[in-house]
Amino acid sequence: MTLPGRLPVVCLPGIRGHRALFGPLVECLRAAGRSAEALHLPAGAPALAASRVCLDADSVHLITGSYGGLVARHLPPSRIASLTCIGTLPHPRHLQPAMARQAQALCLLPDAVLERVYAAHSRRSLKAAGVPDCVRAELAQEPLGASVLRGRLKAVVDGRHGSPPPVPTLWVHGVDDGQVVWSTHDLKEACPWAEQVKVPGGHFPHATHPAPLLNAVLPFWRSAESDRAPVV
């Protein structure tokens, strides 16, 4: 049962685009009395994907995985009571050069090869991160198409990220996330009003450590709900 006075939570996944990665966190949220749903990420670069996102409520707590945080930057700030970014790049300059080269190489592959190579990479990385078997199985049943993946990779490499919206913002990353190379100072330069917190896990704490993640986010949400003044 959703408790009164609590804003709904909407989860936007990362580059894989599948809501299953937020399934474990959604279960925890609902058990804690929060209305929560995870959406599939629409196709397209961040701005185009954002234009295709449907938010049912007038105001939501938005929690995003990696690429989903870039999409959130193009949503109407008036609809976002708070934004929680998990492992999202604060600025294009924080993309590791090796990851950029890998993404560029993937984009050059024929569609069938790209899908096969990325599916194998995804299976390995999700298993290594400790993502539950049931989540990995659901993702394997709906593999990411080449055109959608290529579009997202190009958007990341080309720096089409947008700017963080002027809303209460919490940056989260797992203590074992090797993709996080930016410092607290870097984050403050990119988003001066953002708070930052570390949680157990790697790049997918919403799938691997949902309870500690929820405990880290709840005080931030309560604060946003009690003080809805705009950030300037």
pLDDT at 229 over 50: no
Residue 210 belongs to domain with CATH number? 3.40.50.1820
Parent domain of 53:
9-224
**pTM for the full model?**
0.93
**Cα gap 211→200, rounded to integer Å:** 10
pLDDT at 226 over 90: no
124-155, pLDDT tens digit by residue? 999 999 999 999 999 999 999 999 999 999 99
Confidence of residue 5 (pLDDT cuts 50, 70, 90): low
The predicted structure's pLDDT at residue 3:
56
Q: Does a structural domain hold residue 2?
A: no
Q: Does a structural domain hold residue 210?
A: yes
The predicted structure's pLDDT at residue 139:
95
Q: Does a structural domain hold residue 1?
A: no
Domain count within the chain:
1
**Cα gap 66→173, rounded to integer Å:** 10
pLDDT at 228 over 80: no
Q: Does a structural domain hold residue 231?
A: no
Q: Does a structural domain hold residue 95?
A: yes
Q: Does a structural domain hold residue 3?
A: no
Confidence of residue 17 (pLDDT cuts 50, 70, 90): very high
163-184, pLDDT tens digit by residue? 999 999 999 999 999 999 999 9
What average pLDDT does the segment 58-76 reach? 96
Q: Does a structural domain hold residue 14?
A: yes
String of b and e for 60-97 (b: at least 16 CB within 10 Å)? Answer: bbbbbbbbbbbbbbbbeeebbbbbbbbbbbbbeebbee
Q: Does a structural domain hold residue 229?
A: no
